[in-house]
Structure 1
Amino acid sequence: MYLFLTQLTVVFHLLFILFVIIGGFFAHKNRWVAIVHFGALAWAIYAELSPGVVCPLTTLENYFGQHAGLSTYKEDFITRHLIPVIYQENVTYSFQVFLVVLVICINVIAYRIRWNQKDRNS
């Protein structure tokens, strides 16, 4: 059961990261999506740029993984292929800042498209 919960948390973590990156493209569908997206984006920027901040999903993954008896992330397909995407090794702080700026730019474009569509529909 703990192995399944570990895998489920890793998948959810990846989906959260994808939502942070491209969620702005879906924000025009519903206002609540934009509100949730802004919160997720703010958290991701804070967590990425603040030393020592650990995402609650990471804590949950570690908890479930420890109870599942996982000593590494090499035991199964999901963690073998998703963990390296979520937790990249040897990433410098400058590269982290670059990634944050890139995510912000992607979302500015997404919201700009949303505003342009809204202007055309008015």
Structure 2
Amino acid sequence: MASLLAQATMLTHFAFLAYVVFGGFLAWRWPRAFAPHLVAVTWGALIVTVPWLDCPLTMLEDHFRRAAGQPGVGAFIDTYVSGVLYPTRYVLVAQVLAASVVAVSWLGGYLRWRGARGTGARTHRMGR
């Protein structure tokens, strides 16, 4: 059971990372999605930049892995992402690319919101 919980935590962690990178596009359709995405991006940036800050999902996965008699995974990104999805030497490139995707999603959301607000389309779409 602990091994299954560790796997579920790992999948949740991947989902969170995908949300951090791509979640801003949800605000294009649902503007209220911007606030939770801002919180997720802030948390993700802190986890990557503050060395003493530990991610609770990593700690939870490690707990379940140890309970299953397996070794802990350590840093999630170092274990599952860097060196797996892209070569380790491209960590900075991957971070800049992820930040760029977030910035594009926020800029696009802002432009859509501003354009809809200016034309009255936003209130029409919402049925008002």
TM-score by length of 2: 0.72
Q: Which moved more, 1:9-18 or 1:103-112?
A: 103-112
Whole-angstrom CA distance in 2 between matches of 1:10 and 1:51: 21
Pairing 1:84–2:83 present: no
| CA radius of gyration, larger in | 2
Whole-angstrom CA distance in 1 between matches of 2:42 and 2:83: 21
- Note if contact 1:3-1:64 (Cα within 8 Å) is conserved in structure 2: yes
Q: List runs of 5+ in structure 1 lacking aligned partners.
A: 74-82
Equivalent residue for 2:41? 41
Identity %: 25
Question: Which one of the candidate residues 78, 95, 103 is aligned to 2:98?
Answer: 103
Equivalent residue for 2:26? 26
RMSD: 2.4
Equivalent residue for 1:118? 113
Q: List runs of 5+ in structure 2 lacking aligned partners.
A: 74-78, 120-128
Specify which structure has the bigger relative contact order, considering alpha-carbon pairs within 8 angstroms and separated by 6 or more residues: 1
Whole-angstrom CA distance in 2 between matches of 1:37 and 1:63: 27
Counterpart of 1:69 in 2: which secondary structure? Answer: coil
Q: How many residues were matched structurally?
A: 110
TM-score by length of 1: 0.75
